[in-house]
Structure 1
């Protein structure tokens, strides 16, 4: 195709040329006023000079037509695999491609859309934007999208220069049922009901046989499932009771119903952290001493602890003659504390307490029963523990993890974790810990934190529990044991307060005592034998952690959502701590098992975003379809034929869809040729000027002869 046009390359700016034109017009007006006969030639001469300055050229363009581009988008996300949508998609793409190939001057760009990364869903909008950006807009004649219409980023779709035709897979009779968690708490109080609001939602053309009810099963950590029959399409509030601290994985499962598209959205999981309402601690101090405030400060600093503290200031044997009515003391409520309300306490601490007749022997029997039923006691022993007033001489001696010899070692010593203590969560990893007795101490006392010395210890023998710290002469310093359902801790010194005061450099007094108390209250993170996982945010990978008191740990068995299992070997990364990094093949609920230890872990959403909305619909893309003058067609009615339509005309109808040819062209050759050479413009201007002068000169001579010539006789 050829095209021709005139272009200008002026020697002077256009305003100067325009000014010269104005001057020429004024001169021509003067010539007309004076009646000069050559004014027309003078005007032509001026015009030629102005044209010469503008330098007009003739431009010839050689153009070639460009083909129209059609974007053919193939949705291959997970929701497109439901029912017979894969067959529908394959058939439609084959026929559409054949029609486009048969159309003259049409090129096809085929784009496949998989599942979005990190459970982003179907990214049709961003895919369309990227495809359009890669092509010249002037050549795009349309976009054909074979999809179920469930675009999760429709707001990112661009403004199209041509119609978008959405070809919907699926059937009008499709229906599905899903479970939707509306509200769920992040934390729940152990032993109290926690409400979760959810809805069982029916979508699509629901048959009457579905009945409007569904069978729902609820389980915590995969144990003790409970079944309910619930109404669909209604907000439901279901009560749950958490039985243990730490992470609780609550799973909701709908029984599959005949005819629904998929059961992948019939499962939902919620992770709730179980916490105690308030930990109630009873602290009984036998007599005031320097370390008494250490325990009080420790327990009062924890907002989750309710502390009841009694100090025995006036034992029965004290007789000083002061009337009781004049004392500002209260009687020790032994009956209320150790009989009536003992089960309300999570921990009882005896700090340098001696059995001096304040508590009858029956009360100690009651405390022993309290421990065996699941309670906990902590004994911080002072010199009285080595005497006949020792708690070991009461019925509590039956559950004490070690026996006092009666010797009080009043000498400086360095507390040390034992080999067992390096693995036990109560003492493992404490900052600045020295090496166990008899091993080379690598602690750099001058360069970093280190433990200071204590000055007194009660000698213990015959330990029946776990000795996690040793003291003077390598004797047991901290012994932990389980008794029945409860726990007992025995600290054979009342000198922990020296660390708090910074004596000899101090030590991790607050962290040690906090760990002892929380271990006794059965906090999950301080269990000796534990199996748990740390999930990497935004990824289907986790770090499996096995804590054990043994020297080795067997592989962990991982049960996948489909029921298959894998063995994951562990590597020791710290004493008593074995870990492994493992990547899950898909989102879902995974069960970790090692012997009697089990842990349920939710990797990603139990129901991926692809299955939140499974009914084929053009609604998510309706805005961009309408803006582009496109249409939505169901493939259930057959694959439509493709027509070429002019811009602005309807682009879809019964059994057909349209694309709009753009008529784009490409320039293959450009030639520029001056209308006249410069010398020709000058000659032409000169001839016109001379012609005007000659005409005007002849006219003047003719006029002069008539007026001054001879007269006949």
Structure 2
């Protein structure tokens, strides 16, 4: 039971103050006039003013509440180094036992795991959430067991009691880490990209080390070793070897006595893209399809187009002087002999041999394809005639032989069974519908090689794709693709088909018909295998630690097989299926948990100092627990303090008026009467 005097004014306080001023004025007048009863009248006024203040004696029946101590246990990845996890667990258990053995004390244990998406250790966020669930007036202290490397110090809550840090570090800990900065997500092929790399030591590192080895590997190939200075920022110039994803791995070997090698490796994944695509369009004669090719190629700002067209055939004799037909001579020799290797793609659109391009030029283009170039033939009626470009050097290049027959009838192009699996034509019917407009002409050919991905009249080959040497060749046996562009009978996927065709010929990785790759989401990867075969075997996954795992691939669409795999660790994974192989890095390039691994109180020091807390090492033993008053130092050698809060729960409340009305009336009446009698006697 506790008691106290409280006031419950019957009038506003300002009005009581005015009345008190009137009483004081009356008292002053009585003294000035020398009235002998002034003292009795003053006492009467005070009794009235006191009654208006409503004094009462209040008694409370209180039940004491226990103090709460929060134990915040860091269970992030960096706490798994060495014996930190075991030491933290044993220290937390010992502290909890000591605190619970104290009278009137409760313990709340708060776990802090790794934050998702490489968020680090969010200890202050977890502490704020735990404090929000407890009465603030009962929190007597917070003890954090961690390496001190937290990543949300700016979210520290307002602490009502001391905060202590028991760190898991040891005096001789040291670590070496590798850091890569300025790594772009994309880079242009054949252009130099610069990365900034630093290898530095932290903690009690050994002296006398000036250089360390550095291994650099691209796409999981055999690494090349270099010797680099320690503690200096280096700029590495690199040129990507191929388009698509390039996985670069930088590693410095683990040194003896080092705390961990988890931060000795950095994975950088850069997509290689082409800066400008050089395309040579050779038109044999003007026709509606010429505009189709120009619109397609000119609509892409990354394409540099050179259009060679024959507007007036040599056999035309109309008497017009040659000097009036052109302003300058077209650089044919330079284009087809000296600069042909500079083009990524050459398109022959209804071209026939007229003597303008001699056989040596066409032979040079054939060699260009064998060395890795790409040629697309859009055939018209001229392809079936005696002047066909097929006759001559291109006979070894083109995947089909013309039969000299031109079919002039309406038909709807169809995707073949093989075409349903080929990335150039896969999904066209699904994405754009199967009711396409008709074409009106097709050149009959007999396939001699390659893949037939589209067919026309009577299942005759319409679109054929082939590989010649290191290059690629495509034959479109019709010159009526432009009908789709004009919307004839509803049109069709003309732009998408021609775009895919051009990109396949330029060896864009996403359009390879035999390919294996993976797409990562956090620590999960989706393994994708594309193949023209009906079946593929399981994919073999090699983890960073060398463990080999096999996963069966399921066909999700024609020619596309997939499976999901959760990677158990961060690092480089190798994928193999038949002759196809790929690599992928799971997890961040530099996990934030391992950027700094040496225990430190730097991030928590401002909060600890503000609450008079302390910092001690778990390796020095479990500290003793003491009670300290609020505002006093709460830590010392071998001990930490908690502040008793004295919280309680009020069970019942009773009040008794100190000046009941009857007593006020009796006292005021008596004092006024005494003052009147006193003044009357005089």
TM-score range, shorter chain: over 0.9
Q: Residue 166 of structure 1 aligns with which residue?
A: 165
Matches within 5 A, 1:82-481: 82-208=81-207, 211-328=209-326, 330-430=328-428, 443=434, 450-481=435-466
User: What is the match of residue 706 of structure 1?
Assistant: none
Q: Which residue of 2 aligns with 1:633?
A: 616
1:385: Cα distance to partner? 0.7
Whichever of the two has the greater Rg, that structure is 1
Q: Residues 557-577 of structure 1: CA distance to partner in whole angstroms, max 9, x if unpaired? A: 222222223333333332222
Equivalent runs, 1:474-493 vs 2, <5 Å: 474-493=459-478
Given the alignment, which residue of 550, 556, 560 partners 1:577?
560
- How far apart in 2 are the matches of 1:266 and 1:391? 59
Matches within 5 A, 1:447-596: 450-536=435-521, 539-596=522-579
Q: Cα distance, 1:405 vs. partner? A: 0.9
Preserved CA contact (<8 Å) 1:213 1:230: yes
User: CA distance change for structure 1 residues 212 and 641 in 2, over 3 Å: closer, same or farther?
Assistant: farther
CA distance in 1, matches of 2:15, 2:637: 64
Query: Structure 2 vs 1, CA of residues 32 and 253 (structure 1 numbering), >3 Å: closer, same or farther?
Result: closer
Indicate conservation of the 8 Å contact 1:249/1:269, yes or no. Answer: yes
Q: What secondary structure is seen at the aligned counterpart in 1 of 2:428? A: coil
CA contact (8 A) 1:115 1:121 kept: yes
Within 1, Cα distance between the matches of 2:462 and 2:43?
Answer: 121
1:630 CA displacement: 1.9
**1:504–1:644: structure 2 CA closer, same or farther, 3 Å change rule?**
same
Contact 1:68 1:662 (C-alpha < 8 Å) held by counterparts: yes
Measured in 2, the distance between the counterparts of 1:24 and 1:87 equals 76
Q: Secondary structure of the residue that 2:556 maps to in structure 1?
A: strand
CA distance in 1, matches of 2:281, 2:659: 113
Distance 1:48 1:241 in 2: 97
SS in 1 for 2:114: coil
State the alpha-carbon separation in 1 of the partners of residues 470 and 486 from structure 2: 36
Structure 2 unaligned blocks of 5 or more? none
Tell me, in whole angstroms, the C-alpha distance in 1 between the residues paired with 2:167 and 2:52: 64
Cα 1:127/1:534, change in 2 over 3 Å:
same
**Partners of 2:227 and 2:497 in 1: CA distance:** 50
Displacement after TM superposition at 1:615 (Å):
0.7
Deviation at 1:98, TM superposition (A): 4.5
Q: Supply the RMSD in Å over aligned alpha carbons.
A: 2.6
Gaps of 5+ in 1: 435-441, 444-449, 701-713
1:659 equivalent in alignment to 2:642:
yes
Q: Following the alignment from structure 1 to structure 2, what is the Cα–Cα distance between the partners of residues 312 and 389?
A: 15
Preserved contact between residue 179 and residue 590 of structure 2 (Cα < 8 Å)? no
Seen in structure 2, the aligned counterparts of structure 1 residues 576 and 94 have a Cα distance that, compared at 3 Å, is closer
Q: Distance in 2 between matches of 1:661 and 1:53?
A: 39
Does the 8 A contact of 2:185 with 2:270 survive in 1?
yes
Q: Is the 8 A contact 1:433 1:451 kept in 2?
A: no
- Structure-2 change in CA distance of 1:392 and 1:220 (3 Å): same
Contact 1:427-1:512 at 8 Å conserved across structures: yes
In structure 2, distance between residues paired with 1:585 and 1:86: 19
Q: Per the alignment, in what secondary structure is the counterpart of residue 293 of structure 1?
A: helix
Q: What is the TM-score of this pair, normalised by structure 1? A: 0.89
